[in-house]
Structure 1
Amino acid sequence: MEEQKFLSRFKFDNGLVIKNHIVMSPMTTMTSFYNGMITTDELNYYAARAGGPGIIITGVANVSDNGKGFEGELSVAHDEMLPGLTKLAKVIHKDGTKAILQIFHAGRKANSAILRGERPVSASAIAASYPANSETPRALSDSEIHQIITEFGEATRRAIEAGFDGVELHGANTYLLQQFYSENSNQRSDEWGGSREKRLKFPLVVIETVNKTVKKYSKKPFIVGYRISPEEIEEPGIRLEDSFFFVDQIKHKVDYIHLSMGSYKRTSLNNKANKETLIPQFSQHTKNIVPLIGIGSVETPDDVNAVMSDGADLVAIGREFIREPQWIQKIEKNDLGSIRTLISPSDMEELTIPSVMQVYLRKSFYSVMHFTDDAETKEDYQNALAPMEGLDKKLR
């Protein structure tokens, strides 16, 4: 078999080298303890998938207690989390895979049940459009905004101390970073809202704080990535032009930009006259400046090559790594025929998928996981938001 380009090494501008162009995308296991500490089930799940991809990005970890978005969520909000996070970084590092900790604040995508009676917070006191029963959050005060910014910095310090190779700021899927940028959720009249430039201030200050933390504490190359959703479906809401503007403002301040979408064949959800897929459009803004991670229903080497041909520098694979933990190793051995593109419910224990994760894969991801007992037409999310992009709170 001819050597696949995506199996070659890749070097970030700060000097960090990864062994191939494949990233395991961040996917929640919903398996952390009630307080956000890592569990053995999670460690086993990541260990089974380590060693192949150049990078594994963890499922999201909250930086603040009131930033928790769902039960079973990882936390990086306290120093007490460090022993478990250190174990997590260590298991991911098998055979040279790099470990990135994804960090976030859920903002209005939380609810008072998850927050143990506390009201969720956001840029403004405006409920999310979906799910339909979303609670109206409390608008953050100026001092609380600064506190959350500090907490992003502290989370980064803990990631460095735990031995991770970087952090990814989760500014996608309608979480707090995105909530501040979106006119749908941010209708403030102070310095944190108003014009598009003012709505950009919160994510810019978070990026600045995280970069300062890296400079202060890290003794080796440590990357800072940023994940964005290309569009929102609400009115008003983020449109492609807003995301291109956003990318232009941050592309010299981060080490990579990671798109969040359910299909790499996605076209604009709002502008039907725009027939071009999204990755090439974003690549026009990132090429030769900052690495772009493409994503979305990538399952085969041909899919990877298509994403890279569209302009992505790295390719994130999600659901396929659930089905096939040894995806990279099998390609390296030219053992393509043994790669699982279907998953049997009977094999989930063998695949070290935690029991809680098994339940939500069966209930909430059933139509896109390619279960062998699913005879229905598969959804591809080419022209629609996927649940993990914010439509369903159980999916991240």
Structure 2
Amino acid sequence: MIRLTKYSFLEPYTFEHAGVTIKNRVVIPPMTECMSFHDGTVTEDEIEYYRKHSGGAGMFITAVAYVNELGKGFEGELSIDDDKFIPGLTKLSSAIKKNGTKAVVQIFSAGRMSSTAILRGNQPVSASAVKAVRAGSEEPRPLTDAEIEQTIKDFGQAVRRAIEAGFDGAEIHGANTYLIQQFFSPHSNRRDDKWGGSVENRMNFPLAVIKECREIVEKYAKQPFILGYRISPEEIEKPGITFDQTLQFVDVLKDQPIDYLHVSMGDVWRKSLNDNTISESLNETIKKHLDGKVPLIVVGDVQTPADAAKATDAGFEMVGLGRQSLREPQWVQKVEHDDEGSIRYNISIDDLDELGIKKPFFDILMILSGPTGIPLSTSQNNNRDDANAALDHFLSGGE
């Protein structure tokens, strides 16, 4: 006899503004798989991967898709920058929407977290001409005011394509040091116009993107459509985004037309990286500042049902199941069927076809193998050098 295990994360959740109900509070967060074609077209391998990993969670957020040609951040990345990609994106959304799982596409511009090679000869762009603090980074050129306005429109058109492709929502990627965060960060934004300077001015670009995307939803969506936003709460750069600045931003975001806020961290319960006087987890403080106006997705090192329940029992509306969902695509179903003992927490190289994991995704997972990685039950060590660049994108895209 099948019975439901009574975990809080198995309860449905309704986004009040969007009017969309998800069947449970488990979310698969965006994790870069590098399986698109060189031009950003969806591949059959990619579609099969999503099909195999969907169906259990209430909501599944795709790997990030770039909104214009200068927004591409790495090879094998999904594109949503042209209408020609809509047929492939439609197949992708259909693959995700199995057993009632809601399909959300994440959209971004990489900004300075790209390279001339990836951009096929074009110089990376950002808020200002400041290099990222990482090996091999290039100095970007600052976007002109006209280019900023066009980029805002490009985000909106990406949302239109998501709607036409049958997605249930879109997540604006304002985290992990990519372009939107670059405008908010005092490290990458040294402008003295309306797009830079004070904390308030550095909010102008992300707020304009949200406004444009919401207007597109209101204009084109014929059925309820979710619009989310993702943040990283701190930067380690000096100067960088402090948690106090993030809380100022959250105080503004809670009154914006977004349906959820998604906090990108490697541990749901992480405290500050920069301020050891902060005794409360960052997510708990962010939730207090949201004041019940916007629901929160938390993510990071959630593996067991007890991990997920700890988050939703604490009042976080949704919990992300990232790397563990790669090991066990049937995680939610097994919990629902009171079959937790069969949940797999390690995978073998012989499981990869079953899991739909292809190269170069496999190479990324290889360098993540170990206690903080997938982990893989193999000591295979080849191809790690080729995956180093992709590792940053995998980590920043998911947990």
TM-superposed CA distance for 1:3, in Å, is 1.4
Whether the 8 Å CA contact 1:280–1:311 is kept in 2: the answer is: no
- Indicate which of 346, 369, 372 corresponds to 2:374: 369
Q: Which amino acid aligns with 2:357?
A: I
- Unaligned stretches of 5+ residues in structure 1: 376-386
**What does residue range 261-280 of structure 1 map to in structure 2 within 5 Å?**
261-280=265-284
Distance in 1 separating the partners of 2:190 and 2:130: 9
**How far off is 1:108 after superposition?**
0.2
Show the counterpart of 1:37. Answer: 41
Residues 49-97 of structure 1 deviation map (CA, whole Å, 9 limit, x = unaligned): 1110000000000001110000000000000000000001111111110
Q: Work out the CA distance in 2 between the residues paired with 1:114 and 1:43.
A: 23
Q: Deviations over 1:338-360 (max 9, x none)?
A: 10111212211121112221111
Correspondence for 2:244: 241
Pairwise CA distance, 1:391: 8.3
* 1:1-396 superposed matches below 5 A: 2-13=5-16, 14-130=18-134, 132-253=135-256, 254-364=258-368, 367-373=372-378, 392-393=392-393, 395=395, 396=397
In structure 2, the CA distance between the partners of 1:217 and 1:280, relative to structure 1 (3 Å rule), is: same
- TM-score, normalized by length of structure 2? 0.93
Which structure has more relative contact order (CA 8 Å, sep 6+)? It is 2
Q: CA deviation at 1:336?
A: 0.6
Mapped partners of 2:192, 2:319: distance in 1: 39
Q: Distance in 2 between matches of 1:336 and 1:364?
A: 25
Cα shift readout 1:15-69 (whole Å, capped 9, x = no counterpart): 1010000000101110100100100011001001111000000000000111000
SS in 2 for 1:56: strand
The C-alpha deviation readout for 1:113-147, integer Å capped at 9, x for no partner, is 100111000000000012x2210000000000011
Asked if the contact 1:23/1:53 (under 8 Å) is kept, the reply is yes
Q: Residue in 1 aligned with 2:383?
A: none
Equivalent residue of 2:392, what SS?
Answer: coil
* Number of aligned residue pairs: 383
The runs of 4+ residues in structure 1 deviating greater than 4 Å are: 364-367
Rounded Cα–Cα distance in structure 2 between residues aligned with 1:208 and 1:106 = 20
> What is the rounded CA distance, in whole Å, between the counterparts of 1:364 and 1:336 in structure 2?
25
8 Å contact kept, 2:369–2:376 = no
Deviation at 1:392, TM superposition (A): 2.7
Deviation (angstroms), 1:209: 0.2
CA separation in 1, counterparts of 2:222 and 2:180?
A: 28
Quote the Cα distance in structure 2 between the aligned partners of 1:165 and 1:51: 14
User: Distance between the aligned counterparts of 1:300 and 1:394, measured in 2?
Assistant: 21
Identity %: 50
Distance in 2 separating the partners of 1:182 and 1:264: 23
- For 2:330 and 2:5, locate their aligned partners in 1 and report how far apart those are by CA, in whole Å: 19
Contact 1:230 1:243 in 2 (8 A): yes
Letter in 2 for 1:45: Y
**1:290 offset after TM fit, Å?**
0.6
- Matches of 1:68 and 1:192, distance apart in 2: 22
The 3-state SS of whatever aligns with 1:192 is coil
